[in-house]
Structure 1
Amino acid sequence: MLRSLHLDGVGPADQLNLELGERLNLLTGDNGLGKSFVLEVAWWALTGSWTERPVLPQQGREESARIAGAAEPGTLSGQFESKYDRVAQQWRDRFGRDRGLGLTSIPAGVVMPSWVRGLVPVLYIRTNGACSVWDPNRNSPWTGSAPYRSLSAPSLDPHPYLFEEKALWNGLEHDGRPVCNGLVQDWTTWQLEAAEAEEAHPFQLLRRVLDQLSHPEEKMKPGKPVRLYLDDVRKFPTVELPYGTIPVVHASAGMKRILSLSYLIAWSWSEHVQASRLIGWPPSDRIVVLMEEPETHLHPKWQRHIVPALLGVLSELSPSMRPQVMLTTHSPLVLASIEPHFKPAKDKLFVFELEDADVTVRELPWAKRGDAIGWLTSPVFGLEQARSIEAERAVEAAEAFMRGETGALPEGLRNEDDIHRELVRLLPDQDRFWPRWIVRREHAGS
């Protein structure tokens, strides 16, 4: 569980400092300012691995760049700091290879450090359908089921499960060995073998997660698996919807994202519980989820449902579960949906901004904005008005005219009649600006 991240000379910002909330962290701001970059660094800080290539220091900062931070006491060795090794083209190891543990294998007689048992499962969900899973009980160099380790020379590198969208649905292999069967096969297998009374069965967990993440008006319930294709002998899961039953592979893009997320949570947690039983450790009471733009592909009514539902799902994985969620968003509806659930003692809101060509990040004090328009015109999104560009221009011209600031009016809106015609063209009859404008015109005798 991350408590802070401090970046110097790496990423879009020269310096970035985040004191994170223990439960929910919302990262907002314009495109290209480093929100997803922070999630990538958070993944490394939690797992010791990168999903692709390591991030690079800014040019000219190779010697001074650093990634530092702190984790919850008892996990991840507390404080950490890493410098960039220009020769190795890597950041110094997150899990302590500089402590004399060797570069390629665990030496005979080395005892697993106690802090390894404090590491937590981490899920990272991307907007492109890819996702990553790291479970200390399966993926750390100290446990026997890490997917890529050699029994004769176990590697100290942590090896997470890295899924492209296709692999999450159809299965993931390494060296010819399956490490995940994928949504299609697991769902069907779980469904055919599960008994209604087996609450701990992965299929029962999948059903509960899917029920909670689905919108209340369009609940997705597992239907009967069906054979679909001549050249694919698998049976495919189906979902029952208010308008009928469809195969999961024919679902909409938004529903596929919910299906994928539901399966990812059910599979990851079920595998974690099984691995805990095999190695004799209790399951973790913490989990970290990193997620890019949960609103992707979702209708507005789903956008205002997904994050509260996700927090509920994670909290119910075990009676003592304490999830930490970090997510990026561009959706005012997502932020509006959090208002009844935001806990200032545990949650944080950050905005990434561009100030004179410098990227800055600041924590905003939480304040209710009431609705999507309130969020759009708040410091989070910074719009002057929640209108089209043309309508905003016309309303601003009308306001300037009413203040008597006629010298700054734009071309085509230099007099009252031109402004009025543009307002009539652009604004709906019920627009809240009309009473002000009409009263002004009546007083002026127009």
Structure 2
Amino acid sequence: MLKSLKIQGVGPAPKMTLDFGSRLNLLTGDNGLGKSFLLDIAWWALTRKWPAQINPKLTSGNMARPTKGEGKITFEFTGKAKAEHYTSTFKPKVQDWTGRPGRPSNPGLVLYAMSDGSFAVWDPARNYWIAHKNLDTQERQPAYVFSPAEVWDGLRTDDEKWLSNGLIRDWASWQKENGQAFQQLKKVLEVLSPSPEELLTPGELTRVSLDDVRDIPTVRMPYQQDVPVIYASSGMRRIMALAYFLVWAWQEHRQAAKLLQQPEAHQVIFLIDEVESHLHPSWQRKIVPALLNLMDSLAQEAETQLITATHSPLIMASVEPWFDHQQDAWFDLDICQDKENQVPQVKLTRREFIRRGDASRWLTSEAFDLASARSEEAEQTLNDASEALKREDLSKNEAVELDKRLREVLGDTDPFWMRWRFVAEQKGWLE
């Protein structure tokens, strides 16, 4: 498991320290404060490669560089044979981060789902160093990093060797064989579905064009039509891609471990940026608990850890029944005023997870920092009305105008109405 990260002189904050929970870790904060950056750093700490370094087609996942002075990244994780604890510094002359000589620790299977639809997989059976004539070498692919298009169409090396067939070909092949991989895919899709009434069920394979000879998988919609996966909605494509990579990564890992006659991964670490991306609220309520269950069921003998960034109050509300302070953690990024220099500064805080019982209450928590769970217009009107209720000199015309504004922004059953109408009628402002 990734145990800790300490970052100094790199990214949006002068320094950040994270002591991770062993199971679930949540990252919240406004856009641009460093959530994706922290996930990139986590991936690099575990694999020692930046995603865009392996696949230049990516538009994210680039190497982190110091903002000024000497940058340091300290990380600690539990490895297969030993724990890894190391401080890496950036060397301007070589434009890279220092690494410990010799064979690094093995962090287990590492998966990274980026917000733009890219995916990365590091497999200890396929990407770790190998011994050749008693010497450690790195002749294997350093990791599998897919651009959004390669997720669906397959991943090849520069010399045109196929590393992955991609979702479309693999799904079609698994469905024709109807073996373990396809049964596992169906199960994963079922678990990740938003409800029993809206199950993601594979339909019949089909062709979509005279010029495309591929058999295209389909998904059966609630209205009983089989829709080719390439025409599915963004949310459904996101879930299908997550399901595919969970199955593909574990199936390929098990086969490689068997060929090498070595044990399967002792732990699985899954990094997900914007886990709610493209998803309907009904899906957002279910996705994190479903992923935790799936990781445990796929890798039954391995420890599993999920680290995810989110902008969704429903995600935070959905984990309330699951959150365990002994093995889970919530980290929040905020803009704060630096008392010494009197300038705004990004600050990372590990916050206490308090069950709020309602997603709207999460909007007004430290996670999202909204003054209310209303529109800006409603919030301003309520503030004006609340201040008006304190005044003794409010005119009838002012009260009538406020009443009109309230009617435009509040629902008929809003609790503020009772207070407003009672006071306004008592004072004779409204008839």
Q: Is residue 239–residue 246 contact of structure 1 (8 Å, CA) maintained in 2?
A: yes
**Aligned partner of 1:420: which letter?**
D
Number of the residue aligned with 1:327: 308
Q: Is residue 127–residue 140 contact of structure 2 (8 Å, CA) maintained in 1?
A: no
Distance 2:264 2:233 in 1: 35
5+ long unaligned stretches in structure 1: 102-112, 145-151, 196-200, 408-412
**Aligned pair 1:228/2:237, yes or no?**
no
Distance 2:150 2:38 in 1: 25
**Aligned pair 1:182/2:161, yes or no?**
no
**One of 259, 262, 267 as aligned partner of 2:243:** 262
Number of the residue aligned with 1:384: 371
Distance 1:128 1:74 in 2: 31
**One of 384, 391, 395 as aligned partner of 1:397:** 384
Residues 122-172 of structure 1: per-residue CA shift (max 9 Å, x gap): 11111111111111111123379xxxxxxx994379711110111111110
**Aligned partner of 1:204: which letter?**
Q
Q: Is residue 70–residue 78 contact of structure 1 (8 Å, CA) maintained in 2?
A: yes
Distance 2:228 2:291 in 1: 24
Q: Is residue 47–residue 158 contact of structure 1 (8 Å, CA) maintained in 2?
A: no
Cα gap change, 1:50/1:404 in structure 2, threshold over 3 Å: closer, same or farther? same
Q: Is residue 77–residue 107 contact of structure 2 (8 Å, CA) maintained in 1?
A: no
Distance 2:207 2:141 in 1: 38
Q: Secondary structure at the match of 2:125?
A: helix
**One of 152, 155, 158 as aligned partner of 1:172:** 155
Number of the residue aligned with 1:351: 332
**Aligned partner of 1:43: which letter?**
W
Q: Secondary structure at the match of 1:358?
A: strand
Number of the residue aligned with 2:112: 124
Number of the residue aligned with 1:362: 349
Cα gap change, 1:133/1:167 in structure 2, threshold over 3 Å: closer, same or farther? same
Distance 1:375 1:349 in 2: 13
Q: Is residue 78–residue 107 contact of structure 2 (8 Å, CA) maintained in 1?
A: no
Q: Is residue 289–residue 324 contact of structure 1 (8 Å, CA) maintained in 2?
A: yes
**Aligned pair 1:253/2:262, yes or no?**
no
Moved over 6 A (4+): none
Offset at residue 431 of structure 1 (A): 1.2
Q: Is residue 75–residue 119 contact of structure 1 (8 Å, CA) maintained in 2?
A: no
Cα gap change, 1:73/1:264 in structure 2, threshold over 3 Å: closer, same or farther? closer
Number of the residue aligned with 2:298: 317
**One of 78, 88, 100 as aligned partner of 1:82:** 88
Offset at residue 321 of structure 1 (A): 3.0
Q: Secondary structure at the match of 1:400?
A: helix
Residues 201-221 of structure 1: per-residue CA shift (max 9 Å, x gap): 211211111111111231011
Distance 2:125 2:108 in 1: 9
Number of the residue aligned with 1:302: 283
Q: Is residue 136–residue 143 contact of structure 1 (8 Å, CA) maintained in 2?
A: no
Q: Is residue 27–residue 309 contact of structure 2 (8 Å, CA) maintained in 1?
A: yes
Give the TM-score, by structure 1 length.
0.87
**One of 209, 222, 232 as aligned partner of 1:242:** 222
**Aligned pair 1:32/2:40, yes or no?**
no
Give the TM-score, by structure 2 length.
0.90
Offset at residue 415 of structure 1 (A): 3.4
Distance 2:192 2:23 in 1: 19
Number of the residue aligned with 1:42: 42
Cα gap change, 1:76/1:36 in structure 2, threshold over 3 Å: closer, same or farther? farther
5+ long unaligned stretches in structure 2: 53-61, 338-343
Number of the residue aligned with 1:16: 16
Q: Secondary structure at the match of 1:137?
A: coil
Distance 1:140 1:23 in 2: 24
Number of residue-to-residue matches in the alignment: 409
Q: Is residue 120–residue 135 contact of structure 1 (8 Å, CA) maintained in 2?
A: yes
Distance 1:406 1:378 in 2: 35
Distance 2:146 2:392 in 1: 58
Q: Secondary structure at the match of 1:183?
A: helix
Q: Is residue 377–residue 386 contact of structure 1 (8 Å, CA) maintained in 2?
A: yes
Residues 3-32 of structure 1: per-residue CA shift (max 9 Å, x gap): 111001000000101111011110001110
Q: Secondary structure at the match of 1:324?
A: strand
**Aligned pair 1:203/2:186, yes or no?**
no
Where do 1:71-110 residues align within 5 Å? 71-72=77-78, 74=80, 77-93=83-99, 96-97=100-101, 101=102
Distance 2:67 2:139 in 1: 28
Residues 219-240 of structure 1: per-residue CA shift (max 9 Å, x gap): 0111221122111111111112
Q: Secondary structure at the match of 1:308?
A: helix
Number of the residue aligned with 1:441: 424
Q: Is residue 369–residue 378 contact of structure 1 (8 Å, CA) maintained in 2?
A: no
Offset at residue 418 of structure 1 (A): 2.5
Offset at residue 406 of structure 1 (A): 8.2
Q: Secondary structure at the match of 2:357?
A: coil
Q: Is residue 314–residue 321 contact of structure 1 (8 Å, CA) maintained in 2?
A: no
**Aligned partner of 2:285: which letter?**
R
